[in-house]
Structure 1
Amino acid sequence: MFSHTIRMLEQGLDYAALREKVIANNIANADTPNYKAKDVQFKAELVRAMHSLEAKRTNPKHLPFSHSMNEKFVVATKGNLVYNHNGNNVDIDREMSNLAENQIYYNALIERLNGNLTTLKTVIRGGK
């Protein structure tokens, strides 16, 4: 169970790191003509998290749970909006807000991971 928690935190960190790169790229291209903003689709992450849930079959008649952990995060282009006269759809205020939100999410995951590693270290030391 402990390794499962660390694996889930690692996946969350991978998601946050990719989202940070995508947001930074959007900000860097805020003035680029015809650039379309991108984002990491939450649906892909939700499906991934749902697939990682463990389920116990308490009756042989229950359907088995099967899933693949090889799914990747999906970076999608936001092509349906145009904010600027040059065809660019980057909303710098929204991107800065997304960046701050993502940094808070990333920091929370790091704190949780550090807590888990501290607990593991305590167990290894025999409770000292």
Structure 2
Amino acid sequence: MAIGFDSSLGVHIAALRLRAQRAEVLAANIANADTPNYSAQDTDFSAALRAAAGQGRLAATASGHIQPGSAGDGRAELLYREPTQPSIDGNTVEPEREKALFSENSVQYAATLRLLGSRIEGLMSAIRGE
């Protein structure tokens, strides 16, 4: 059984991709804080990471089965957020909440990047025979 480079990095690559996607979604929410009727979106990082890691993935075992959706594209499903303080113009973005979530996601992105970097350093040490 051959071990590929991607499999040796574990779920860190998928986690990094999902964190980057979440940063885009949260930034879009912040940018549209004053747009009437804009609905704030977010991702369920845990569910997306489980799907990326292959847990809970659907499989068609017979030709008559309905084929799984395109969840295997590496992107998380976008969900709409329920506001805690609805606005008059229908916008569901709460700027302070979005900024806090964006900051938290940024810290988690950096941590995932450090873990991935450490993993790559370990692989490079193994390749060099150190």
TM-score of Structure 1 vs Structure 2, range by shorter chain: 0.7 to 0.9
Instruction: Detail structure 1 runs of 4+ shifted over 3 Å in the superposition.
Output: none
State the percentage of identical aligned residues. 32
- Residue among 21, 34, 51 paired with 2:24: 21
- Residue among 113, 117, 120 paired with 1:114: 117
SS at match of 1:70: helix
Deviation at 1:46, TM superposition (A): 5.0
For structure 2, list consecutive stretches of 5 or more residues without a partner in the other structure. 57-70
Retained in 2: the 8 A contact 1:44–1:74?
no
**Residue of structure 2 equivalent to 1:125:** 128
CA distance in 2, matches of 1:88, 1:5: 44
For structure 1, list consecutive stretches of 5 or more residues without a partner in the other structure. 54-68
**Residue of structure 1 equivalent to 2:63:** none
Deviation at 1:49, TM superposition (A): 5.4
Number of matched residues? 113
CA distance in 1, matches of 2:24, 2:102: 10
| TM-score (structure 2 length as normaliser) | 0.74
What's the CA shift string for 1:39-65, capped at 9, x where partnerless?
012453254156359xxxxxxxxxxxx
**Residue of structure 1 equivalent to 2:94:** 91
